[in-house]
Amino acid sequence: MTALTLSTAAAPGLRADAIVIGVGKGGKGPVVAPGADAVDKAYNGKLAGVLETLGASGAEGEITKLPAPAGFKAPLVLAVGLGKEPEEGEAYDAEALRRAAGVAARALAGAKKAAFALPLTDAADAGAIAEGALLGAYSFDAYKGGAKDAKAGGKAPLGEAALLGGKPRDKEYKAAVERALAVTEELNRARDLINTPPNDLDPEAFAAVAQTAAKEHGIKVEVLDEKALEKGGYGGILGVGIGSAAGPRLVKLSYTHAAATKHLAFVGKGITYDSGGISLKPAGHNETMKCDMSGAAAVFAAVVAAARLGLEVNVTGWLALAENMPSGSATRPGDVLRMYSGKTVEVLNTDAEGRLVLADALWAASAEKPDAIVDVATLTGAMVLALGSRTFGVMANDDAFRAAIVDAAEEVGEPSWPMPLPEHLRKGMDSPTADIANMGERMGGGLVAGLFLREFVGEGIAWAHLDIAGPAFNEGGPFGYTPKGGTGSAVRTLVRLAELTAAGDLG
């Protein structure tokens, strides 16, 4: 993990491999951003012109490298684009700083230390730059024997990020950096889990990771194995996991605070590999299905982060873990499952399995009467078609709660969009055999899935469903602070919800 420090040192005298500065996109060319004053002065105030000559425009994510001026102990200046220059009297927003820091940290892989001289006016800016640098420096090398061998072409992540203009003795600055460390370390742990091959991360192995972390951070943990699930009547989780040699698990993580007056429940879909079951996915659609446990990874990370931050709110995380495989014992299309709630579900498509494991976990969470439940899942391809690969959909049984989640996501830089739960789509799940079918109308499939889940939420409990199928796994190139592969989508939104609840600003 990249080390993080706050520094009051001046850029010229700091020993580092590079000085990172920001460049905005102005109306007449690149504009040197605040924080880079010392570098600009060393170029006799002509740094913007030099950057323009080198082809820089200040566009978001753009990287321009140039030799450091005489007198600087760092040999390199790395200019990163911040995007459009703010209006007069305004500043670059937190997300612009996060993304710029992330791009710079990734570009400096292999360096031991970089000094970040980005616009930094308060503790919030320090937190945003810290988050961006720590998330952007992430790499997953566990299965690359020569990943850190120069001959193999690999480079170690940036060793240290020093934030120039930070105030190491200021309580607010220290708190912002400590928060960034806790959240990003757990988010990067979630990324590691998502990227781990399914032959090394089955439900039992995931549960073991959760148990170890829970013990480390004072979180109570309970794991239900196949026998306990069968005894408890968890027909949904068992119905999905029954076709695999690796048995399912339901993990309950309970973080409590003595001063807490509110209780949040987070529920995560944890399909450690999704073949589709008997309704087998075609070639081209199953190669990345190790990521189908991204919701459970997000919930796990958020609960641990809440514990590390000592938030005054009780948070329970439910990880519904199973592997969806075809076999002679697998659930068939047409089978009927009796869920933990007592309802029966006709399984019309075994590849609509996420809603089945979530249904049991939602009902279990509801039994504790929390103030609110949020489930997170890579649930439907329909949501990807609707919102693309970078935005998750938010559905809820309460409009105000849905709006609060969308606002929280925006605040932390996670793109989301409010989605409806049209009542007319419920009829499509009527079954002649069971209480409900696990499939309905094809059009609006993401909304149909949300309506199905709503059936398993206890009465009077605020509930929201986050369909992160698009942003959970990045199959394209890295951008901002987002790497290729597992992204840790929704972790920061869940943590922010917990913070707002602890502060009394949510419900």
Active site residues: 281, 355
- In the numeric block, the tokens 């206890």 are attached to 458
Report the distance separating Cα 131 and Cα 98, nearest Å.
6
Report d(CA 352, CA 349) in Å as an integer.
6
- Identify whether the C-beta of residue 376 lies closer than 8 Å to the C-beta of residue 317: no
SS3 for 332?
A: coil
Distance CA 489, CA 298 (A): 7
CB 119 within 8 A of CB 24: no
Distance CA 7, CA 10 (A): 8
Q: Which residue has the tokens 């992540």?
A: 157
**Spatial separation of the C-alpha atoms in residues 126 and 173, rounded to whole Å:** 7
Residue-level length of the chain: 507
List, in order, residues 6 or more apart from 89 with CB less than 8 Å away.
none
Q: Are 91 and 8 in contact (CB under 8 A)?
A: no
Q: How is residue 428 annotated by DSSP?
A: G
C-alpha dist (Å) from residue 444 to 384, 398, 427, 441, 473: 11, 20, 13, 7, 22
* Residues pairing with 393 in the sheet: 417, 467
Q: Which helix (H) or strand (E) holds 269?
A: strand 263-274
Amino acid at 408: A
3-state DSSP: the chain helix, strand, coil percent, rounded to 5?
35, 20, 40
Within 10 Å of residue 180's Cβ, how many Cβ atoms?
A: 23
